[in-house]
Amino acid sequence: MSGMKSRSSSSWCISAACLFLLGGAVAAPKPALPAPTSGEPVLRIETGVHLALITKIGTDGAGRWIVTASEDKTARIWNAVTGKPVSVLRPPIGEESAGTLYAAAISPDGRQVALGGNGNFDGRNTHALYLFDRASGALPPKSTLSGLEAPLTQIAWSRDSQFIAIGLRQEGLRVFRRNLGFVGADPEYNEAIYGADFSRDGRLITASLDGALRLYIIGKAGLERVARRQAPGGKPYSVAFSPDGALVALGYQDGPRVDVLDTNTLELAYTAQVRANGNLGRVAWSDDGQILYAGGSANSGGRFLLYAFADAGRGQSREIGSFANTITGLATLGAGVVAASAEPSWAAFDGSGISRIGARPQSADFRDAGENFRVADDGHGLVFPMMVKGPSLVFDLSQGSLKQATPGPELKSPRLPKRGSGPADWKNSLTPKLDGRALPLRPGEVSRSAALAGDNRFVLGTDWNLRLFDANGRALWERRIPAAAWAVNITGDSRWAIAGLGDGTVRWYRLADGLEQLALFVHADQERWIIWSPKGYYDTSIGGENLVGWHLNRAFNQSADFFSVGRFRERFYQPGTIQKILALADEDDAERQTRQELAAIAAMNAEPVAPVQLQAKVPQEGKGRKSASVAGPASAASARLVEIVPPIIELQSDSQVEAVGDLVTVRYAVRTPQDAPVKDIKIRVNGRLDRSIKPVSQRALQGEIPVQEVQVRVPPGKDAEILLIAENRNAKSDPVSIKVSRGATMPKAAAGDKADFETLYMLVVAVNKYPGANELVSPVKDANAFKAQMARIANPPAGVRKIYNRIEFKMLTDDMATRENILEGLKWLKTNMKEKDAGVLFLSGHGIAQGKSYYYIPFKPGGMAGKPEEWLPGDQIVGTLQSLPGRAMFFLDTCYAGALTNQASNATDIINKIDDERGVIVFASSTGKEKSGEDDENGFFTKALIEGLRGEAVDKKDNLIYPTLLKRYVTRRVKELSDNQQRPFISDHGIDEPIAIVIK
């Protein structure tokens, strides 16, 4: 065990436990364990892929869907053709390993997903089976079976989707009908069941670590065992019937071989094996039975190999794929196979070994980070690699910046234990020692990392805990951690132990007592990040809010709710509080200080507001980054999350639709707190606002939510995405997506001479003429260049395809760019745009932060606009863009250097708000933590943008510019022009409509 280096452990620290029901009666909870209905929220990372070892993978009979389950307590459904995620299934979760999913299977007809694992929420060691609806991703009523005697380790569906076999850990086999009616049981097992499969004719075979295979039939009397045989060799782990049911493939836990047995006799027919270390514990067949696939811990050269054996396993083995960690599951996918690993990742392979779809981890891997895991003396700065032996990133919390850079000397490597100093035998070890004496660990606990403090105290990071010892090896504290601690460091001021964990987070633990105070997650794109405190206060990059959310258990037989943290932005987005936590090393003290600031601001606002002296430098926290004052209630965390939740849209129809016509029927229900009725529901098609509808009051059965239906028109001849967004007084819901595909035979709509958009409305605003040292050089020049290029695009030469039939614009620069004129321009944009139009807002000049809010500083005759009443509120911009009925595009460049630098807003707040509805294409000059660069011609951002529009970002197949291609070019080009000092943020949401034709 100590040698295995899976990125994550199976322990996940959370704040609520759950209570299950058995046969409709409430099982009495132990006083120390709250029920799942207690509503205690839990912060969880969400990247669109799994964070921990994938325990199971499966496919439906037609090869349309893939399901994966993980130790991260989620299951996920994927499109088996495109590899894209479809939905996340969230059963209730509990403390430590409670809620971990060990078993999953999708019914062959693709209608249901069966899940199970460790459901010991009430301390009574009873567990549950969940039957999720595949189409909606919901857990319907009467779809939970509780009271199972042990954790579920295997689930298998019969080929006709009518029966479900459940393997339990040391408690045998249970079989149920699809409606959860009991069929039969076999408790005579001495070990866990990890293998189970149904044949085409309905026979069931199981494999258990007790060494035996058991064969069953389901007859009129229920489950009947017809044979029991010892496996030919070793501990059987997985079994799979050949498609014709004549053969059974058997994989072993303890060897690199697969035995193929005759189904009728369970006698050995032949063996497929390889020369490798490890086992071939997972097996699957191609759909024609000609290829036998196998994998497991068998490895060579540090890679874990996937093998294909021709001639139904009689032929020579071929290595058709490999992973960086153990292969944990295989399933048939046509003539090929889909494989899951402990990385965690999955990939689909065809019979020749070509892989075209899959999902890889989107988090940092701190294994073997060692001396490359560096920290600043005060904990503000970090250096860490995103992957093993990969380049390092530098994160500066005080500046809110993340970039690849050479770390400075202030960022220091950990003091690693050496001979005669600190512990020995601590790396990947069950038995770390100090002066020859074993350090106290729990049975099976593996030590992974260590670091020394200046006084020779040392921190030991293990799979389960972070531990502090004094110089003599006496344990000072022990803290449970969410995943293995692969890297650890102690700050020079001895206030923090900072750990890099297997879930991809970096966490700050107070050295005095080990209490966690902060957690940072950086996405694999190396641009998005979010840092949060235990109570949920956070700071983030643009686009980072979707990386973390609140999991909220509901009831034992209901799927949990999940809200991205951005839904609670007004209460919890508090960069200033995050800075205070690092400075004070205490979240409660930081919260109190924030409340005091709020009280002072409230008192100040009760008096006439004096103009802000924008040219004066202001006191700063940390290393130069202004800490935003916090607007909102006295304590953001004091309000119970369940009392301020946004609406939840539950689909009642399929989230993946294949349509022939242009009308798609969407059925849905909306849940919302009783005191926060839904105000409206927006429908977007490919990002465009289709309509806003008021909720219809309908009667429903007690306890049920009324189902509503809407007909949505989608563009002819091409794939589309429909989004539903509901809003109540608390916030907007997370968008619900319906993907509409046209199928291979659907003809594309002919472009002809018809333009893509009727009218292009452009509002272009730019200010150079700020007083004194605040004056700028590039904005007006950039605005003119952008407007000129868009005018050329909107008026192409005769015979060239038209994107826009005509163009109308308002140009507001310098003296004309007053607050009143800009507001009138926004009104003009909103009033004139129709469904078939496109609208552009280009904004360049100075931006500023007041509290958490963004403002654009307009031109003011005779001086500087120096107070909020004179500025353009970011919320006004957001509201306008999100209400535009056609295609909306926003270009923002307000991060210039100058005397305003100390107060300049990073625009994170406004862009994240605009992105809430995934409907506006956003191009921002930088991530907001960097200044916009320029040369003699234009600012770097505008220069790259115009180059892209003139053809550098062209799709050579049709000579058109699409948002995705423009994003790729502008991002690369700005980094190139700025020597990687400026990184634009561009959000295109995968919208594939052209926005330009190449006109030189």
Within a 10 A sphere around the Cβ of 28, how many other Cβ atoms?
9
Residue 28: predicted pLDDT: 26
Q: Where does the pLDDT of residue 601 fall: very low under 50, low under 70, confident under 90, or very high at 90 and above?
A: low
What average pLDDT score do residues 751-766 get? 84
Sequence-ordered list of residues with C-beta below 8 angstroms from that of 516, at least 6 positions apart, any chain: 479, 507, 508, 509, 510, 534
Asked whether residue 905 carries a pLDDT value surpassing 50, the answer given is no
Phi, psi of 286 (to 5 degrees): -70, 160
In the prediction, which pLDDT does 649 show?
A: 94
Task: Indicate if the pLDDT at residue 258 is higher than 50.
Answer: yes
Question: How confident is the model at residue 609, as a pLDDT?
Answer: 41
**pLDDT grade, residue 7 (50/70/90)?**
low
Q: List, in order of start, the domains of the chain with CATH numbers.
A: 370-527 (2.40.128.630), 648-695+706-741 (2.60.40.10), 757-997 (3.40.50.1460)
- Average pLDDT of the residues in 615-622: 32
Measured CA to CA, the distance from residue 493 to residue 183 in angstroms comes to 64
pLDDT (tens digit per residue) in 117-164: 998 887 778 899 999 999 999 999 999 999 999 999 999 999 999 999
pLDDT class of 910 with cuts at 50, 70, 90: confident
Q: What is the mean predicted confidence (pLDDT) over 196-219?
A: 96
Mean pLDDT of the region 528-551: 94
State whether the Cα torsion 400-405-410-413 is positive or negative.
Answer: positive
Query: What does the pLDDT read at residue 538?
Result: 95
Q: Rounded to 10 degrees, what is the CA torsion of 716, 717, 719, 720? A: -10
pLDDT band at 613 (very low <50, low <70, confident <90, very high): very low
Quote the CA–CA distance of 949 and 919 in Å, as a whole number: 21
- CA 932, CA 296: separation in Å to the nearest integer? 50
CB atoms inside a 10 Å sphere around CB 470: 14
Query: For the segment 718-744, what is each residue's pLDDT rounded down to a tens digit?
Result: 889 999 999 999 999 999 999 998 865
**Cα distance between residue 835 and residue 831, in whole Å:** 12
Which pLDDT tens digit goes with each residue over 845-889?
Answer: 888 877 677 889 999 998 888 888 899 998 899 999 999 998 999
Between 296 and 898, the higher pLDDT residue: 296
Peptide bond into 391 cis (omega under 30): no
pLDDT digits (tens, 9 = 90+) for 483-501: 999 999 999 999 999 999 9
pLDDT of 19 > 70? The answer is no
What pLDDT score does 937 carry? 72
Q: Which residues, in sequence order, are bridge partners of residue 531?
A: 520, 539
Q: Could you tell me the pLDDT band of residue 619, with boundaries at 50, 70 and 90?
A: very low
- pLDDT for residue 636 is more than 50: no
Dist. CA 439–CA 244, nearest whole Å: 56
pLDDT of residue 226: 95
Please check the confidence at residue 597 and state whether its pLDDT lies above 80. Answer: yes
| pLDDT at site 622 | 37
Q: Residue 928: which region, alpha, beta or left (left: phi > 0; alpha: psi -120 to 50)?
A: left
Name 105's Cβ contacts closer than 8 Å, sequence gap at least 6.
56, 58, 67, 113, 114, 155, 156, 157, 164
Specify burial of residue 604 (Cβ count, 10 A radius: 0-12, 13-18, 19+). Answer: exposed
382 token code pair: 């970090």
Using CA atoms, how far residue 440 sits from 445, 447, 986, in Å, is 10, 11, 51
Q: Are residues 360 and 368 in contact, defined by beta-carbon separation less than 8 angstroms? A: no
pLDDT of residue 926: 78
pLDDT attached to residue 734: 92
Pairing of strands 887-893, 920-924: parallel
144/689 Cα distance (integer angstroms): 38
pTM of the model: 0.87
SS (H, E, C) 909-938: HHHHHHHHHCCEEEEECCCCCCCCCECCCC
Average pLDDT over residues 27-41: 41
Please answer whether residues 462 and 430 qualify as being in contact, where contact means their C-beta atoms are separated by less than 8 angstroms. Answer: no
pLDDT of 638 above 50: no
User: pLDDT exceeding 70 applies to what percent of the chain?
Assistant: 88
Residue 902 has pLDDT above 60, yes or no: no
Q: Per the structure block, which two tokens stand in for 143?
A: 């779809």
3-state helix, strand, coil in the chain (%, to 5): 15, 40, 45
905 vs 557, residue with greater confidence = 557
Across the range 262-268, mean pLDDT stands at: 95
Torsion of CA 595, 601, 605, 606, to 10 degrees: 50
Check whether 204 has a pLDDT greater than 70. Answer: yes
State the pLDDT confidence band at 281, using cuts at 50, 70 and 90: very high
Does residue 546 carry a pLDDT above 70? yes
Contacts of 824 (CB under 8 A, 6+ apart): none
pLDDT at position 936 is 67
Q: Which DSSP string corresponds to 327-371?
A: EEEEEEETTEEEEEETTTEEEEE-TTS-EEEEE---S---TT-GG
- Percent of the chain whose predicted confidence (pLDDT) is above 90: 66
Work out whether the CA dihedral 849, 854, 856, 860 comes out positive or negative.
negative
Q: What is the pLDDT of residue 381?
A: 94
Q: What is the mean pLDDT of the chain?
A: 86
Q: Are strands 838-844 and 887-893 parallel, antiparallel or unpaired?
A: parallel
Q: How far is CA 724 from CA 81, 654, 669, 735, in A?
A: 25, 14, 11, 6
- Could you tell me the CA-to-CA distances from 313 to 249, 293, 887 in Å, in that order? 9, 8, 55
- The pLDDT of residue 66 is 98
Average pLDDT over residues 360-385: 94
pLDDT tens track for 439-448: 999 999 999 9
pLDDT at site 495? 96
| pLDDT over 70 (residue 635) | no
Q: What dihedral do alpha carbons 851, 508, 39, 667 form, nearest 10°?
A: 70
Residues 603-627, mean pLDDT to the nearest whole number: 41
User: Among positive and negative, which fits the CA dihedral 104, 108, 113, 115?
Assistant: negative
**DSSP-assigned letter for residue 989:** T
Are residues 146 and 20 in contact, defined by beta-carbon separation less than 8 angstroms? yes
> Rounded to the nearest 5°, which phi and psi values hold at 839?
-130, 140
- What does the pLDDT average to over 898-909? 51
- For residue 50, give the 3-state DSSP assignment: coil
pLDDT value for 578: 94
pLDDT higher than threshold 70 for residue 533? yes
At 803-833, the pLDDT tens digits run 999 999 999 999 999 999 999 999 999 999 9
